[in-house]
């Protein structure tokens, strides 16, 4: 009986020891068969849907893109046509013929005012085969000393205003700006892609302000 118990005990011990060895072998096998983390990452990147990655953009690339989208001052100036004119000249642009008169005058704002202004006649004709409406352009005036002078058109009834003309029709207006002495005045304005620089010589007999 004792022999039987000894045999059973020995068998149990051997069985337990064998199980422990098997568990260690299994752990060793798992470690050897484990996929490296680099492989997992590589596989994940390959299976990732296209278009999910954000493109990294450096500061240099951003600066280059900005320069392409924003035109430089040089590019803008190259596309602008400069027209240097004087009184008596005409320019055809925007379906219109614009003629600057030679009858330049120095006039008062009203009979009771001591302030003088330059009056420049301007004729506008519609060259289109149909009716055409135009809006007054932004005029800038420079006096005989080279400084900007005030636009005084708002004081006079024949100032240039928004108008609609039939084909071939023409209308007379006047430009008014402050007088600051005899000399060459300049009127500047832009129509579409044309910049007009108009020289207006102003000389009076008394040469008074």
Q: Please give the model's pTM, rounded to 2 decimal places.
A: 0.60
Report the DSSP pairing between strands 90-93 and 96-100.
antiparallel
pLDDT digits (tens, 9 = 90+) for 171-209: 999 999 999 999 999 999 998 888 999 999 999 876 544
pLDDT digits (tens, 9 = 90+) for 6-39: 455 565 555 555 554 554 455 444 444 555 555 5
Q: In sequence order, what are the residues at sequence separation of 6 or more whose Cβ sits closer than 8 angstroms to the Cβ of residue 197?
A: 82, 83, 84, 85, 186, 187, 188
Going through 81-156 in order, the beta strands assigned E by DSSP cover: 81-86, 90-93, 96-100, 105-108, 116-126, 132-134, 140-142, 148-149
């Amino acid at each position: 009986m004792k022999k039987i118990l000894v045999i059973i005990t020995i068998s149990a011990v051997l069985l337990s020891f064998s199980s422990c060895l098997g568990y260690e072998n299994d752990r060793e096998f798992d470690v050897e068969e484990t996929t490296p983390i680099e492989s997992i990452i590589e596989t994940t990147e390959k299976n990732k849907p296209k278009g999910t990655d954000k493109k990294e953009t450096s500061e240099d690339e951003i600066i280059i893109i900005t320069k392409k989208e924003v035109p430089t001052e040089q590019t803008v100036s190259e596309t602008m046509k400069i027209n240097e004119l004087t009184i008596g000249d005409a320019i055809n642009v925007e379906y219109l013929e614009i003629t600057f008169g030679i009858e330049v005058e120095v006039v008062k704002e009203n009979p009771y005012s001591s302030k003088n202004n330059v009056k420049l006649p301007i004729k506008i004709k519609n060259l289109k085969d149909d009716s055409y409406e135009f809006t007054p352009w932004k005029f800038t005036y420079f006096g005989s000393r080279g400084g900007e002078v005030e636009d005084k058109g708002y004081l006079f009834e024949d100032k240039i205003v928004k108008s609609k003309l039939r084909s071939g029709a023409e209308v007379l207006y006047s430009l008014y700006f402050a007088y600051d002495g005899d000399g060459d005045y300049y009127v500047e304005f832009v129509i579409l892609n044309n910049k007009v620089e108009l020289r207006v010589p102003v000389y009076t007999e008394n040469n008074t302000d």
